Amino acid sequence: MARRAGALLQGTVDVLVLTTLQAGPMHGYGVSSAIRERTDGVVGLDDAALYQALHRLEAKGWVEGDWGTSENNRRAKYYRLTGKGRRQLRKEAETWRRYADAVFKIIGA
Q: Is 106 strand, coil or helix? A: helix
- Give dist(CA 39, CA 41) in Å, integer: 5
Q: For 64-82, what is each residue's pLDDT tens digit? A: 999 998 888 999 999 999 9
pLDDT at residue number 6: 45
Say what the pLDDT of residue 30 is: 94
DSSP, collapsed to helix, strand or coil, labels residue 24 as: coil
pLDDT of 84 higher than 90: yes
Domain boundaries, the chain: 24-107
Residues 24-107, CATH architecture:
Orthogonal Bundle (1.10)
What are 19-63's pLDDT values in tens digits?
Answer: 999 999 999 999 999 999 998 988 888 888 899 999 999 999 999
